[in-house]
Amino acid sequence: MSKEIIPAGQAISISVLFIIGTSLFMGSSGQSGNSSWIALILAAALAVPLMLIYARLHGLFPGKDLYDMLILVFGAVAGRMLSCLYIWYALHLGSMVLRNFGEFSKTVALTSTPMLAPMLVIGLLCVWVVKAGMEVLGRSAKFLLLFTIMVIAVIELLSIPKYQYHHLLPVLDSGWKLVLSDTIGSFTFPFAEIVVFLGAFNVLPKKGSAAKVLVSSTMIAGVIILVVTLRNLMVLGPDILSSLYFPSYVAVGRINIGDFLTRIEGSSAIIFVTALFIKVSLCLYAASNGMAKVFKLDSYRSVVLQLGLIMVYLAVFIYKDIMQMQYFAYHIYKIYALPFQVAIPVILWVTAEILAWRRSGKKTAAQQ
């Protein structure tokens, strides 16, 4: 079994790119119109306690990943059954991200190319990097995060002349009901999706790193998504924004500095591809690691190629069209994902705390 350990800085880079992933292009849940940025802030704040619960699990089980924890706490049979659910979730999430890229390619970038081709290219690239190991993914993510932040910063500066600040008013025009609905949507997609990283907790140092990684990642990713959301809102307006499948691409396409700086939306497409590459790779690692734990394989690398191809195949058939993809992402996903992101981890944490308390009580009694 893998003994890879990556530094906290690389883990933060992976987590930030994982969280911002497809939300950079698809945007966040936006039923609340010009108040969607408020929902994002609330969602990030709501995610922090969940990150602390995830970090506490790492403290209770240092050097263990999610699958080890489930088996240790719930036993061999129930633990492996729950592990299979998380293997499915990681595979499903990875295939959804690939399909987002496939639909983007088919709709905007490579309209004459079969959707399978770009998805297969990204899928095989993810297979290669996961087989190479988490150290390679971590070093790649550290460079790609720096590149992503630089590109976003430049695009934000160039977008300022296009800002129409009246699009932000009136605040809370749609009321709190839609804002709270968007808060739950933004909480499940993208912040709480980092539950997949629990499947790779075995690559973190044993002491004191999980809380730093998860909370820092949530804050950094939250700021990036908030900045991008505000830009899209001020450039496009809430009405146009809600009608687009890929609002960031359209918003960046409106940048026009004189006659010499136009059509720079390709730069935003590049950071979309880099972020989804990291996200799919982590999903693939988590699924492969889970398979190795459930079936007691010598190494997760023996199933990476097979699961990568299954992920690509699933991405082709997961949705009928782009409209179904968007409907699932904004309406169904927040119900589907909550058990994986919140319910099972909280039950695992509470049960682990009770078991730890009982063990400490027995040790105290034995010493007396």
Q: Could you report the per-residue pLDDT of 312-352, keeping only the tens digit for each?
A: 999 999 999 999 998 999 889 999 999 999 999 999 999 99
Residues 6+ apart with CB under 8 A from 46: 183, 187, 191
- Contact between residue 119 and residue 101 where contact means Cβ atoms under 8 Å apart: yes
Residues 6+ apart with CB under 8 A from 18: 193, 194, 196, 197, 217, 275, 278, 279, 282
- Mean pLDDT over 29-56 rounds to 90
> Of 168, 178, 180, 176, which Cα lies nearest the Cα of 230?
168
* 87 Cα distance to chain centroid: 15
Q: What's the CA angle centered on 224, arms 323 and 349, to 5 degrees? A: 85
Cα–Cα distance measured from residue 194 to residue 184, given in angstroms and rounded to the nearest whole number: 15
- Contact between residue 14 and residue 312 where contact means Cβ atoms under 8 Å apart: no
> Of 20, 88, 71, which Cα lies nearest the Cα of 283?
88
- Write down all domains in the chain, each with its CATH number in brackets: 8-366 (1.20.1740.10)
- What band does 2 get if pLDDT is binned at 50, 70 and 90? very low
Radius of gyration of the chain (CA): 21
Say whether pTM exceeds 0.85: yes
Greatest mean pLDDT among 14-28, 182-196, 239-253, 261-275: 182-196
> Of 355, 361, 358, which Cα lies nearest the Cα of 75?
355
Please report, as a single letter, which amino acid is at residue 357.
W
H or E element: which one contains 235?
helix 210-236
Cα–Cα distance measured from residue 79 to residue 77, given in angstroms and rounded to the nearest whole number: 5
- What band does 227 get if pLDDT is binned at 50, 70 and 90? very high
pLDDT for position 260: 63
CA distance to 25, 68, 345, per residue, from 75 (Å): 41, 10, 15
Cα–Cα distance measured from residue 53 to residue 61, given in angstroms and rounded to the nearest whole number: 12
- Mean pLDDT over 350-365 rounds to 85
Cα–Cα distance measured from residue 111 to residue 328, given in angstroms and rounded to the nearest whole number: 23
- Contact between residue 299 and residue 2 where contact means Cβ atoms under 8 Å apart: yes
- The encoded tokens of residue 34 equal 């010009």
Pairing of strands 261-262, 256-257: antiparallel
State the DSSP code for 172: T
Cα–Cα distance measured from residue 184 to residue 28, given in angstroms and rounded to the nearest whole number: 11
- Contact between residue 42 and residue 243 where contact means Cβ atoms under 8 Å apart: no
Cα–Cα distance measured from residue 103 to residue 276, given in angstroms and rounded to the nearest whole number: 13
pLDDT at 263 over 80: no
> Of 252, 288, 234, 228, which Cα lies nearest the Cα of 90?
288
- Contact between residue 321 and residue 107 where contact means Cβ atoms under 8 Å apart: no
- Between 217-221, 256-260, 288-292, 344-348, the lowest mean confidence (pLDDT) is in 256-260
